[in-house]
């Protein structure tokens, strides 16, 4: 944490990185189709009515997660180092509470931890039928392929970026993924003898079709 704080302090003067480069770091990038995005050189960009200009970045892998958020108009820095990604929504609640305190609000929202999940015993024979490659799609026509497989007495999901998530059984066809704090459900479709995978990441689930076993 001290190293990140030293980096934060160094970025407020022009000796470490010159002003022209920092201006590029904190300016929206223009991608190939001409659209401006809220990402500069290594920093996500955010504007807040009360906190002003904010730059930040996150990091994570199964086992840890980080947030380095700099409120550069207020000279305030928030550094979160966590030994797990068990609840992204809880972390967001924490950040919201900290920002309410930064704004000198009379009261702030207390984060509410997620309820404990009732994980049942894993039985490979019960989930063998779910294994295979699935493809998620969105309204823009983009797709994401994932692999579902059994490894070391666990059901796993491998994402396109190589990250491997462990799916913990809640019942015979519904699973909990603790690093993203989300649930997934496998549903058999009789009409085409195939399986759909529903990933409950938002109010509406993301839906994938199995493309081969």
Supply the range of the domain harboring residue 9: 2-102
- Whether 116 is covered by a domain: the verdict is no
Under 8 Å between Cβ of 55 and 49 = no
How many other C-beta atoms lie within 10 A of the C-beta of residue 130? Answer: 21
Judged by DSSP in three states, 98 sits in helix
Mean pLDDT of 81-109: 82
- Whether 111 is covered by a domain: the verdict is no
H/E stretch holding 12 reads none
The answer to whether residues 14 and 49 belong to one domain is yes
Under 8 Å between Cβ of 128 and 148 = no
pLDDT for the residue numbered 109: 86
The answer to whether residues 72 and 30 belong to one domain is yes
- Whether 59 is covered by a domain: the verdict is yes
Which candidate, 149, 145, 124, places its Cα nearest to that of 136?
145
Q: What does the block give as tokens for 18?
A: 């010159």
**pTM score of the predicted model:** 0.60
The answer to whether residues 21 and 98 belong to one domain is yes
pLDDT digits (tens, 9 = 90+) for 35-54: 888 999 999 999 999 999 99
What's the structural domain count of the chain? 2
């Amino acid at each position: 944490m001290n190293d990140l704080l030293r980096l934060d302090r160094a970025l407020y003067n022009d000796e470490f990185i010159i002003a022209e480069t920092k201006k590029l770091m904190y300016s929206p990038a223009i991608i190939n189709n001409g659209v401006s995005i809220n990402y500069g050189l290594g920093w996500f960009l955010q504007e807040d009515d009360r906190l002003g200009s904010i730059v930040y970045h996150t990091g994570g892998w199964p086992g840890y997660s980080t947030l380095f958020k700099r409120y550069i108009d207020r000279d305030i820095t928030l550094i979160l180092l966590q030994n797990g990604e068990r609840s992204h929504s809880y972390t967001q609640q924490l950040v919201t509470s900290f920002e309410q305190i930064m704004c000198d609000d009379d009261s702030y929202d207390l984060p509410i931890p997620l309820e404990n999940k009732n994980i049942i015993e894993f039985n490979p024979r019960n989930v063998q039928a779910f294994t295979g490659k699935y493809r998620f799609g969105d309204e823009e026509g983009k797709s994401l392929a994932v692999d579902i497989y059994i490894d070391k007495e666990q059901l796993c999901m491998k994402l396109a970026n190589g990250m491997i998530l462990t799916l913990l059984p809640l019942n015979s066809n519904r699973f909990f993924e603790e690093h993203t704090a989300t649930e997934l459900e496998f549903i058999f479709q009789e009409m085409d003898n195939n399986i759909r995978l529903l990933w409950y990441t938002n109010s509406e689930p993301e839906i994938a079709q199995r493309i081969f076993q």
